[in-house]
Amino acid sequence: MGKALGVEAKSVPAPDEDAATISVMAARRALARSSIDPGEIGAIFVGSESHPYAVKPTATIVSAAIGATPVMTGADLEFACKAGTAGFQSCLGLVNSDDGQIPIRCALAIGADTSQGAPGNALEYSASAGGVAFIVGREDVIAEVGLTMSYTTDTPDFWRREGMKYPSHAERFTGVPAYFKHVEMGARQIMERMGTKASDYDYAVFHQPNGKFPLKISKSLGFNREQILAGLWTPRIGNTYSASMMMGLAGILDVARPGEKILAVSYGSGAGSDGFHLEVTDLISEYPRSKAPLVSEAAANGIEIDYATYSKFRKKLKMEGE
Amino acid sequence: MAVARHWRNQDQRYNLAGTRCKVCGGHFFPKTSMCPSCHRRSLGKLERFQFSGNGTISSFTIIHEGMPQYSSQVPYVIAYIDLEEGDHIIGQIVDSEPSEVEIGKKVEMVFRKLSEEGRSGTIQYGFKFRLTP
């Protein structure tokens, strides 16, 4: 199954980790690389399909844990695997608005998940855990967003009903009318509006539900393997859901140089895609990457566990007293 | 009642917030209303201080029969840690096998789930530690 999906390994959260703890760690690492006072952060959006509470924001936990409270706003977002980039877009809107109307100069967009797949289901091979945080602002920018556009339809390819532990998916239906259509349209409308073609980009990253879909979509859009390799992480850590495309983008920013162009397209079942055209600025040369682990370092820092331990960690086994 | 008690401890648990005495420069965890060295002289001269979370293991024990909420984590390590800025703290060491933990090894703070009030109650978060890579 792992070979069929193109996934060699997946990350698993420890028993004391959830989307909130992962969000906090991602936010703290983002701040470690920045000179921003947490009190300057005016908004925090946390995108996830595995928020620990049904009612009570993950965003407030993150806010308190990084010292951003109280003069700020925050919210939890849900749109399957693209909730993190929906938050990214919301941050862009806020920080680029008129100062007099919305005085927010800096915001935090987080995508984090500890997703589950039912035992034996194909999703169990790929659903993993991870988180990424981007600081969005107008000063000291290392990558400028030139354009962001979304493509959204009502397509029921993957869902989880209220109260259900595991999600369901529509088997092969999740491919062509869902992932491929939305990612392709999301990418094409960005390139059309920007007047760019695949060869104009140094890097491209697409949502990675498995290791094969991003390879297939990138090929059909005209991108070669070299352009997507830096952002391709699902084969090594699984599908981190809301963090998936953002993880790829973070991996690209770990190696990107001034002037390079990036096309990034997320995908969320249900369904929609968020596309971004980014250009790396000269400030990336001074960006203190070493103050937090690179994606490659974090991905290499794992401990291999067996299925019994995995089952215990993910509460698939009922323990004594439960 | 438990919700309010945990909420009052959020700053120290989330951010390792303690106290600094402006008279002697000492750092204390948890927060204190009087410096144990300067006593009355410290009144009105204490300020919030956020520890970096970096420290060194000075002692530890391995728990094999833990509390019910930690049953999925046994065996786990509880360590006595000398914080970089001063004072000591007791915390769980995560993300490593107990056999990797040794006195003198450096640790850093991580943010983790500490406990939860049953399946419908609140979740408590706060500091734990892991070996510094």
Tell whether A72 and A124 lie within a shared domain.
yes
Could you tell me which residues come within 8 angstroms of residue A279 by beta carbon, excluding any fewer than 6 positions away? A143, A144, A146, A259, A260, A261, A262
pLDDT beyond 70 at A188: yes
Q: Sort out which chain A residues have CB atoms less than 8 A from B71's CB and list them.
A: 319-321
B72·A312 Cβ contact <8 A: yes
pLDDT in tens, A305-320: 999 999 988 888 776 6
Confidence of residue A171 (pLDDT cuts 50, 70, 90): confident
- Shortest Cα distance, chain A CAs vs residue B122, angstroms: 9
Q: Sort out which chain A residues have CB atoms less than 8 A from B125's CB and list them.
A: 20-21, 24, 61, 65
- Shortest Cα distance, chain A CAs vs residue B31, angstroms: 17
The closest of B129, B125, B4 to B54, measured between CA atoms, is B129
- Average pLDDT score over residue span B34-53: 96
pLDDT in tens, A212-250: 999 999 999 999 999 999 999 999 999 999 999 999 999
- Under a CB-based contact definition with an 8 Å cutoff, are residues A153 and A272 in contact? yes
In a domain, B113, yes or no: yes
Phi then psi for residue A248, to 5 deg, are -65, -45
Nearest CA in chain A to B125: A21
Structural domain of B91:
52-131
Maximum mean pLDDT: which of A67-71, B4-8, B65-69, B116-120: A67-71
Position B118 scores a pLDDT of 86
- Shortest Cα distance, chain B CAs vs residue A194, angstroms: 41
Using a pLDDT cut of 90, give the percent of chain B over it.
Answer: 88
Which helix (H) or strand (E) covers residue A168, if one does?
strand A168-169
Q: What angle do CA A187, A191, A196 make, to 5 degrees?
A: 140
The closest of A279, A293, A295 to A246, measured between CA atoms, is A295
In a domain, A96, yes or no: yes
Q: Output the six-digit token pair for B73.
A: 């984590």
Between A18, A25, A64, which is nearest B14 by CB?
A: A64
B113·A53 Cβ contact <8 A: no
Position A321 scores a pLDDT of 64
pLDDT beyond 70 at A14: yes
Q: For an interface test with A, give the residue of B69, B70, B74, B112 to mutate (most A CBs within 10 A).
A: B112
In a domain, A170, yes or no: yes
Using the 8-state DSSP alphabet, how is residue A238 labeled? -
The number of folded domains in chain A is 2
The number of folded domains in chain B is 1
Between A15, A52, A53, which is nearest B73 by CB?
A: A15
Q: Are strands A73-77 and A43-47 parallel, antiparallel or unpaired?
A: parallel
pLDDT in tens, A24-41: 999 999 999 999 999 999
Kindly list the residues of chain A whose beta carbon comes within 8 Å of any beta carbon in chain B.
14-18, 20-21, 24-25, 28, 52-53, 56, 61, 64-65, 67, 293, 301, 303, 312-313, 315, 319-321
Tell whether A159 and A248 lie within a shared domain.
yes
pLDDT beyond 60 at A85: yes
Phi then psi for residue B72, to 5 deg, are -80, -5
- Average pLDDT score over residue span B87-114: 97
Cα distances from A245 to residues A83, A152, A222, A232, A267, in angstroms, run 11, 17, 19, 9, 8
Tell whether A49 and A131 lie within a shared domain.
yes
Position A224 scores a pLDDT of 96
Classify A264 in phi/psi space as left (phi over 0), alpha (psi -120 to 50) or beta: beta
Residue-wise DSSP of chain B: -HHHHHHHTHHHHHH-EEEEETTT--EESS--SSBTTTBGGGTT-EEEEE--S-EEEEEEEEESS--GGGTTT-SEEEEEEEETTS-EEEEEEESS-GGG--TT-EEEEEEEEEEESTTTS-EEEEEEEEE--
Kindly list the residues of chain B whose beta carbon comes within 8 Å of any beta carbon in chain A.
10-11, 14-15, 50, 68, 71-73, 94-97, 110-114, 122-123, 125, 128, 133
In a domain, A298, yes or no: no
Between B111, B122, B133, which is nearest A65 by CB?
A: B111
B123·A301 Cβ contact <8 A: no
Q: Is A81 one of the annotated active-site residues of the chain? A: yes
- Shortest Cα distance, chain A CAs vs residue B11, angstroms: 8
Q: Is A184 one of the annotated active-site residues of the chain? A: no
Burial-class residue A59 by CB neighbours within 10 Å (0-12, 13-18, 19+). buried
Q: For chain A, how many helices (H) and strands (E)?
A: 12, 10
Compute how many other C-beta atoms are within 10 angstroms of the C-beta atom of residue A105: 17
Position B104 scores a pLDDT of 98
The closest of A259, A283, A295 to A11, measured between CA atoms, is A295
The closest of B10, B20, B17, B34 to B89, measured between CA atoms, is B17
pLDDT beyond 60 at B1: no
Tell whether A119 and A222 lie within a shared domain.
no
Cα distances from A310 to residues A26, A193, A265, B74, in angstroms, run 23, 46, 31, 14
Given A51, A169, A182, A207, which residue is catalytic? A207
Position A320 scores a pLDDT of 67
Tell whether A185 and A72 lie within a shared domain.
no
A65·B125 Cβ contact <8 A: yes
Q: Are strands B46-50 and B17-21 parallel, antiparallel or unpaired?
A: antiparallel
- Average pLDDT score over residue span A152-157: 95
Position B112 scores a pLDDT of 98
Least confident of A61-70, A239-248, A288-297, A301-310: A301-310
Nearest CA in chain B to A29: B110
The closest of A239, A219, A238, A235 to A227, measured between CA atoms, is A219
In a domain, B92, yes or no: yes
Q: Reply yes or no: is the peptide bond before residue B30 cis, omega within 30 of 0.
A: yes
A17·B125 Cβ contact <8 A: no
Tell whether A51 and A150 lie within a shared domain.
no
CATH code, A169:
3.40.47.10
CATH code, B110:
2.40.50
In a domain, A258, yes or no: yes
Could you tell me which residues come within 8 angstroms of residue A150 by beta carbon, excluding any fewer than 6 positions away? A89, A186, A272, A273, A274, A275
In a domain, A294, yes or no: no
pLDDT beyond 90 at A98: no
In a domain, B126, yes or no: yes
Tell whether A10 and A134 lie within a shared domain.
yes
Q: What is the ipTM of this complex?
A: 0.94
Q: Are strands A261-268 and A270-280 parallel, antiparallel or unpaired?
A: antiparallel
Tell whether A104 and A57 lie within a shared domain.
yes
Tell whether A46 and A97 lie within a shared domain.
yes
Higher pLDDT, A303 or B1: A303
Query: What rounded mean pLDDT belongs to chain A?
Result: 94
The closest of A274, A236, A261 to A143, measured between CA atoms, is A261
Instruction: Please give the Cα distance from A313 to A243 (Å, whole number).
Output: 21
Structural domain of A86:
2-140+303-313
- Shortest Cα distance, chain B CAs vs residue A78, angstroms: 20
pLDDT beyond 80 at A322: no
